[in-house]
Amino acid sequence: IQRGVNEDHIVDLARFCRENGHILRLIEYMDVGTMNGWRMDQVVPAKEMVERLNAVFPLKQVARNYNSETALRFEYADGQGEVGLIASVTKPFCGACSRMRLSPQGSIYTCLFATEGVDLKTPLRNGASNDDLEAIVRGTWQKRDDAYSDKRTASTADRQKVEMYFIGG
């Protein structure tokens, strides 16, 4: 949700989802990639989204299904469904992240905000065994030090990052 663009649609989206049996997920506007011109003042914090929703549809927070679940989940107090908010800017979850992405080009990425990936395609094409590939994946995960959202500053927000459409979201 981006301030000045679509924050006024939050309640209408929730209403539509409630009426049609859908679970709504809202995400804070993120600085993924470098093409969206992201600025912190454009972020609508999850807390504000919850306040807007709660004013119309009273909410109660529910426990996470698993430790690395990204959404802060809420049930509507009247039992008419659920909404989740992904607060990757204001409440980063890097420490609990368990996600790795494989790009169509054959590289693995340990963070949506990565500047580069680790090539799996070349070893695969050169006859690497399953054990070899597993060692690359495990080694990449064990050596990961990316916690971009936890460490975000004005200077890191401007660094080159891989676009989300390239590695999946």
- Helix (H) / strand (E) element for 155: namely helix 154-157
Residue found under tokens 């698993």: 66
CA–CA gap between residue 169 and residue 146 (Å, rounded): 16
Which has the higher per-residue pLDDT, 33 or 46? 46
pLDDT of residue 163: 61
Please give the pLDDT value at position 162.
64
Instruction: Kindly report which listed range (34-38, 72-76, 124-128) carries the lowest average pLDDT score.
Output: 34-38
Please write the tens of the pLDDT for every residue from 106-147.
999 888 777 788 999 999 999 999 999 999 999 999 988 766
Token pair 């905000």 in the structure block, residue? 113
Confidence of residue 40 (pLDDT cuts 50, 70, 90): confident
Model pTM score: 0.71
* pLDDT 10s digits, 8-20: 999 999 999 999 9
Q: Closest Cα partner for 95 from 24, 146, 44?
A: 146
- Would you state the pLDDT for residue 154? 52
